[in-house]
Amino acid sequence: MAFCSGSSSPVRGRRRSRVCVILAPAACCCLLLALAAPCSAAAGAARHDYGDALAKSILFFEGQRSGRLPAGQRATWRGDSAVSDGAAAGVDLEGGYYDAGDNVKFGFPMAFTATMLAWSVVEFGDSMAPAERSHAADAVRWATDYLLKTIAHPGVGDPWKDHGCWERPEDMDTERTVYNISAARPGSEVAGETAAALAAASMVFRDADPDYAERLLAGARRAFEFADTYKGAYSDDPQLRAGGCPFYCDFDGYQDELLWGAAWLRRASKDDAYLDYIQNNGKTLGAEDSTNEFGWDNKHAGLNVLVSKEFIEGEVLSLQSYKEFADGFICTLIPESSSPHIKYTPGGMIYKPGGSNMQHVTSISFLLLTYAKYLAKSSHTVNCGNVSVGPATLQLQARKQVDYLLGDNPMKMSYMIGYGDRYPQRIHHRGSSLPSIKSHPQRIACNEGTPYYSSSSSNPNPLIGAVVGGPGEDDAYEDDRADFRKSEPTTYINAPLVGVLAYLVGNPDPGHVRH
């Protein structure tokens, strides 16, 4: 079971000069066993309860919390953990999220998670019931409170030692080595993504907590300035590479994160300086790169959708090329178009090789629905050569993906824990698979967790709302805890799904796209 946690490519994590990467314990790779039982699954329904799925997708983040848990914690099987993170370096790095089924806190995917959670609320928060919008904002804040600390402090954790254990986060006792990104050891991708996260989050809190929103925006500006001033990828430095690779290596370069950070600062601040940055540096930083991927390591498709909003709404006509790039991405998702297409499984799921495929399903569905929203406010459509596509088509395409995830698939099972009658029982997640500290207060040491890992029994603590990596290209899912590529949940699978489900709650009629 390797940590390579649900990413289409290995996985990376490194923070910037003041963006720490906190690598915490417990992962997996070293345990060779496998086994598991056939999975239980949830039969798909003709019309899903998107409101129920939305509530659960947000609740999931409470099960991933690191640090001292708040009084209102709803995932009650969890306890306080990693409260002294950063202490060895004399800094406070408590908080944030464990990124997947281990007890690791990598800054890069956490920042992307925060960006997507915030974008979900900014774009579709009005479709959420007040209580769910409040929970979603809490989920954003849990990440941004931590990310604000990382702007001024180094990161911690030795992933290689940490990944040798199968233990609860509450029991962690592995060494917390400090890693620091600086002007001499830059990490523009982590700094740029952190800038995007803080800027997007500032919009979430603008009305309810304006002081916090201003603090977030100021932090975003500092993070972006560092990313742009000291350009470079963290994985190019041997020492930093040792702390981040192969877990979250930089496969696509840092240039997209610079544009992404600038785009979010532009949207949050309306500052023309960031618009100028995008227009003056877009070509140099690869804005014209053709890609049909969007995730923690590649922001191009999301960047094009985000930036095209101002052109679509008739505000900045000089951004037309971003609309054209976004159209090109959308056309790869439309089977009827003459463009080269993304791959779909026989059952209809978007599929990309590499494992943890649901991250592509949720992130691409989010872009489809966001673009549908932008198009619905204008007379624009997407020209895919032999076919013209409007917002209703994009909405239906995304709905099919969500319905597949929730149970309309060849396995007749939901890939969200707790949704429907049948769903995976043996997910690759330490806290979920080990007895809760509430029911078993005695410490379970590093190697003492191995029997639980190799057991064919169901996890004792259902991680409600978690979405696993999902089936392979043949639509098959074996419910095997050891098969982390399929059975491990991640925060960056769920983050865009929050917005997708909120959109569907607000647009229950498949034939109607609300403006």
Residue 22, helix vs strand vs coil: strand
Identify residue 295 by its one-letter amino acid code.
Answer: G
Site of tokens 């800027």: 199
Pairing of strands 388-389, 343-344: unpaired
Q: Which of 102, 162, 171, 488 is catalytic?
A: 488
Residue 171 is among the residues annotated as catalytic for this protein: no
123: which residues sit within 8 A by CB, 6+ positions away?
370, 373, 499, 503
Q: What are phi and psi of 493, to 5 degrees?
A: -80, -45
**Closest to 493 in 3D by CA, of 430, 428, 420, 412:** 428
* Rounded Cα–Cα distance for residues 204 and 210 (Å): 10
Are the CB atoms for 276 and 266 separated by under 8 Å? no
Are the CB atoms for 383 and 24 separated by under 8 Å? no
Residue 59 Cα distances to 145, 219, 427, 504, 512, angstroms: 18, 27, 17, 18, 28
Q: Give the total residue count for the chain.
A: 515
Are the CB atoms for 414 and 407 separated by under 8 Å? yes
Residue 428 is among the residues annotated as catalytic for this protein: yes
**Closest to 135 in 3D by CA, of 61, 53, 211, 212:** 61
Backbone region of residue 346 per phi and psi (left: phi > 0; alpha: psi in -120 to 50; beta: other values)? alpha
Residue 47 Cα distances to 44, 459, 482, 509, angstroms: 8, 28, 33, 10
* Dihedral of alpha carbons 463, 24, 145, 468, sign: negative
Are the CB atoms for 278 and 236 separated by under 8 Å? no
Residue 448, helix vs strand vs coil: helix
Q: Which of 237, 250, 252, 479 is catalytic?
A: 479
Site of tokens 């026989």: 346
Chain mean position to CA 86? 24
How deeply is 269 buried, as exposed, middle or buried, from its count of CB atoms within 10 A (0-12, 13-18, 19+)?
middle
Q: Which of 428, 429, 480, 483 is catalytic?
A: 428
Residue 488 is among the residues annotated as catalytic for this protein: yes
* Rounded Cα–Cα distance for residues 32 and 1 (Å): 7
What amino acid positions are annotated as catalytic residues?
A: 428, 479, 488
